[in-house]
Amino acid sequence: MTKTLMFLFKLAVVCGCLAYAFWGVDLAGLTEAVGGYSVWRFTALNLFTAIMLFIPGMRLRYLTGPGFSVLDGAKASALGLGLNNIFPAKLGEVAKAVYVSRKSGFSSAKGLGLVFWERFFDINLVFCLAVLSLGVSGQGLPIWPGIAAILAGWICVGALAARPEWTGVLLRFLPGERLRLFVSDFARQLHERTGLGFFVALGLLTLLVWGLYFLTFLLGLTWLAGLELTLSQLVVAFVISSLGMAVPSSPGGVGVYEAALIFALGLYGVDKEEALAAGLVLHMTQFIPTTVIGCLVMSLSGIDPKQLRTEEI
């Protein structure tokens, strides 16, 4: 019953976003906008996206340790992103964990734990960017609630790290088995990887990863699409589109990403045809390289997507 409701929710989100994105769009104007993009710039941006995979590869190499190269990390990152583009239920994260565990010789559970740290720091950075976007939006919105929420979260992390016995107490008050399992797994990972140096290094690497994500976004909208936007406007649009991708929906966020970007660019007077054209083409530069490389890695590594659902992790 829960799976059916989740499927219906995702379907409703995707259908609603596609309706919002394409409703009232002049298809001739959309075609003209896309046709005006430079083919070589589009190709160059795809190549840049592929090369950029070495940066999350560096982060994964740091988490995994000796015996796992930056190239292995880049392949694992492409595998995770590529499978998430074409399969539902975040199978890419499981595939990445399996690939890391096979390359490094440890359990899939430990591999998933490394992926957990990536996602944990990614979520924190997105929240920080959301707070930053409020500050630079020029709308006079208060940023202190967001800062307070981030600080409260890290205080809780510090408390659980300092007092492991509090985890059991906390679990008694949490509703839902899934939430309790998540908190329990989080506490276990926290106790295995603690220390200021670890958090600082992983935080800096995450900042570098997202800095390059933003650079790709900036190049896509200004260099490729030719939109004239200020740095603060680009930051706000980047945050909104990133949050849109985090919403449970279709594989690869198809439809949702475009709708989020149309909404964000509409705040700054970009018409719908231009915004949709930019969203479609920019999404392609994120989708094509990772999917092609990810499928190639999957084929060469012998990972079967059908077996990932039953993989013991």
118-136 pLDDT, tens digit per residue, is: 888 888 888 887 777 776 6
Average pLDDT, the chain: 81
User: Among 244, 250, 272, which Cα is nearest to 30's?
Assistant: 272
DSSP state, residue 224:
I
Residue 24 forms part of a structural domain:
no
Higher pLDDT, 1 or 32: 32
Residue 147 forms part of a structural domain:
yes
Residue 23 forms part of a structural domain:
no
pLDDT of res. 312:
44
Higher pLDDT, 250 or 199: 199
The CB-based long-range contact list for 196-205 (8 Å cut-off, 24+ gap) reads: 201/62, 202/59, 202/62, 202/63, 202/117, 202/121, 203/121, 205/58, 205/59, 205/62
Cα 284 from Cα 276, distance rounded (Å): 12
Helix (H) or strand (E) holding 153: helix 144-162
Residue 29 forms part of a structural domain:
no
pLDDT of res. 86:
84
Residue 139 forms part of a structural domain:
yes
Q: How confident is the model at residue 73 (pLDDT cuts 50, 70, 90)?
A: very high
Percent above pLDDT 90 for the chain? 29
Residue 226 forms part of a structural domain:
yes
Q: How confident is the model at residue 46 (pLDDT cuts 50, 70, 90)?
A: very high
Task: Say how far residue 252 (Cα) sits from the centre of its chain.
Answer: 10
Residue 134 forms part of a structural domain:
yes
Cα 38 from Cα 40, distance rounded (Å): 6
Domain with 76, as residue range(s), is: 43-304
Residue range 24-49: mean pLDDT, rounded: 89
Task: Say how far residue 71 (Cα) sits from the centre of its chain.
Answer: 20
Q: pTM for this one?
A: 0.84
Cα 290 from Cα 81, distance rounded (Å): 6
Percent above pLDDT 70 for the chain? 77
Coil, strand or helix: which one is 227? coil
**How many domains is the chain built from?**
1
Contacts of 29 (CB under 8 A, 6+ apart): 273
The label of the residue with tokens 């329990």 reads: 184
262-279 pLDDT, tens digit per residue, is: 999 998 889 899 999 999
211-235 pLDDT, tens digit per residue, is: 999 999 999 999 999 999 998 889 8
The Cβ-side half-sphere exposure at 307, using a 13 Å CA radius, reads: 6
Coil, strand or helix: which one is 195? coil
* Helical residues (DSSP H) of 175-271, grouped into ranges: 177-192, 196-218, 231-246, 256-266
Residue 65 predicted with pLDDT over 70: yes
Residue 138 forms part of a structural domain:
yes
